[in-house]
């Protein structure tokens, strides 16, 4: 536990607690269950940030779902988007005619999901909706409809519950604002 305590010491503050996350994810699962009644959506998780959210959310969706993952990158390891989207790992499934729900950790500039949504439609998806754990609307650079989101957050760099800085902090159960001294040094 000593090392986890050190990770928490890198946070300026906790923004969303694990209890708040659990409640919101459960609610979102119920809403998706209602909205997709009679369907078999394809849950498309965006690696790696969304894995924690994804694994919790899928168990609150009371429908048969198909699971797939992609890895895309617009970031590198810095805290600012480069605006260039690269597919690092593609889908395993042919998504022709599928109702796709893209499960993402956070929408920031919107560049990644704006690109990805168009890409999925071009590949024949019947529908594409976006389910994001976090949304930072103040940072948007391109237009994007976020169909489902659990929390709107201010413009700050956050970590935990899947979100990282340089691959660390993903396993924090809560979401916190990373102290700027960590990435400015």
| Two structure tokens written together for 102 | 């893209």
Site track for Mg ion across 46-75, x = CB under 5 A: ---x--------------------------
Neighbouring C-beta atoms of residue 85, cutoff 10 Å: 17
Using CB under 6 A as the binding rule, whether residue 15 contacts ligand IMP is answered as: no
CB closer to ligand IMP out of 29 and 110: 110
Using CB under 6 A as the binding rule, whether residue 119 contacts ligand IMP is answered as: no
Using CB under 6 A as the binding rule, whether residue 109 contacts ligand IMP is answered as: yes
Least spacing, CB of residue 40 vs ligand IMP, in Å: 26
Single residue of 57, 104, 120, 146 touching ligand IMP by CB under 6 A: 104
Dist CA 135 CA 125 (whole Å): 24
From the list ligand IMP, Mg ion, none, partner contacted by residue 175 (C-beta under 5 to 8 A by kind): none
Give the active site residues: 108
| Binding residues for ligand IMP restricted to 120-179, rule: CB under 6 A | 157-159, 163
Least spacing, CB of residue 59 vs ligand IMP, in Å: 22
Residues contributing to the site for Mg ion (CB under 5 A)? 49, 105
């Amino acid at each position: 536990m000593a090392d986890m305590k050190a990770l928490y010491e890198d946070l300026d503050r906790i923004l969303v607690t694990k209890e708040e996350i659990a409640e919101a994810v459960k609610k979102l699962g119920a809403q998706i269950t209602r909205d997709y009644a009679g369907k078999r959506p394809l849950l498309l998780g965006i690696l790696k940030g969304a894995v924690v959210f994804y694994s919790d959310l899928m168990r609150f969706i009371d429908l048969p779902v198909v699971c797939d993952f992609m890895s895309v990158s617009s970031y590198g390891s810095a805290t600012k988007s480069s605006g260039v989207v690269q597919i690092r790992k593609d889908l395993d499934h042919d998504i022709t005619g599928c109702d796709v729900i893209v499960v993402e950790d956070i929408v920031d500039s919107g560049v990644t999901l704006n690109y990805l949504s168009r890409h999925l439609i071009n590949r024949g998806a019947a529908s594409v909706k976006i389910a994001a754990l976090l949304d930072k609307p103040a940072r948007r650079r391109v237009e994007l409809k976020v169909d489902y989101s659990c929390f709107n957050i201010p413009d700050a760099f956050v970590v935990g519950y899947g979100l990282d800085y340089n691959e660390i902090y993903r396993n924090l159960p809560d979401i916190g604002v990373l102290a700027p001294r960590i990435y400015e040094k």
